[in-house]
Amino acid sequence: AFLSAKWGEKNYFHWMFDVVARIDLLRRTDIKIDKFIFSSCEKKIQKESLEALGISQDKIIESRFYPHIKAKQLIVPSLAAKQREVWVNKWSCEFLRSLFLKPQNIKEVSHQPKRIYLSRKLASWRRVLNEEEVVNLLEKFGFVSLTLESMSIAEQVSYMAAAKVIISPHGAGLTNLVFCSPGTKVIEIFSPKYVNSLYWRISNFCSLSHYYLLGDFFDNDNLGKHLWTPDIIVNLKQLLKIMELAKAI
């Protein structure tokens, strides 16, 4: 089965939806899979995912090491995508929930913070440049700032399953919205130069209450040759207004 996907080995969203979720399509068939081809499986979250899927190391082929592969029968499960626009669908959300949202993966949810802010301070783009001010404001309302890059999937699931309110700049960390409880409030922050409805769609499939906030226009915002890179400056007054609208404060 061929499961390699563009950005699948580098980006958390693309790994979860363009690679892991497609395993569900294979499971719905009666086809016996001898080998699974992935671009790369070296990251901790990738190994954790494959373990959850029950795919043993001896069945994995990493195409980065084998650019030419020959098979008697090659199975390629479809991507949930149309042309250049990234799509998600309900079955992929439900599959990811069933795979990772299990009691053994939700440790002490009752002790996890109910209001969280997902930081992109370790990212190369779409960073919140006035994040210190944002976090200082949010902490007054009981929010806890998290960076997800070093967490296991189980840890991320634990935080998201417990959260009642999530505030975050647009980014792959919001992939974890699939693990939220229905009714969770989400405030997604964008640069005015780049808005993407991807995570709003996930919120709709998972019955979450999704709001968005546009940052301020400013020069030198890290907008390069790609449209999705601009950094963000959050207007604190507007943030308070959207929090009031969402009944998050």
Provide φ and ψ at 214, rounded to 5°.
Answer: -95, 135
pLDDT at 222: 72
SS (H, E, C) 14-27: HHHHHHHHHHHHHH
pLDDT at 219: 82
Which spans in 116-197 are helix H?
Answer: 131-139, 153-162
pLDDT at 80: 73
Select from 165, 215, 216 the least CA-distant residue to 187: 165
Distance of alpha carbon 159 from alpha carbon 216, whole angstroms: 29
Output the tens digit of pLDDT for each of the chain's 249 residues: 999 887 777 899 999 999 999 999 999 998 999 999 999 999 999 999 999 999 999 999 999 898 889 999 999 998 876 545 667 899 999 999 999 998 766 666 667 899 999 999 999 889 999 999 999 999 999 999 999 999 999 999 999 999 999 999 999 999 999 999 999 999 999 999 999 999 999 999 999 999 999 999 988 777 666 677 899 999 999 999 999 999 999
pLDDT at 102: 82
Residue 190 burial (10 A CB sphere; 0-12, 13-18, 19+): middle
SS3 label, residue 68: coil
SS3 label, residue 228: coil
State both tokens at 125: 């783009």
pLDDT at 105: 62
pLDDT at 107: 64
Q: Please, are residues 167 and 117 in contact by the beta-carbon 8 Å criterion?
A: yes
pLDDT at 61: 95
Provide φ and ψ at 81, rounded to 5°.
Answer: -145, 150
Q: Please, are residues 116 and 198 in contact by the beta-carbon 8 Å criterion?
A: no
Provide φ and ψ at 168, rounded to 5°.
Answer: -160, 145
Select from 208, 207, 112, 101 the least CA-distant residue to 159: 112
Select from 169, 172, 170, 171 the least CA-distant residue to 153: 172
pLDDT at 242: 98
Question: H or E segment at 243?
Answer: helix 236-245
- Domains plus CATH for the chain? 12-89 (no CATH), 105-245 (3.40.50)
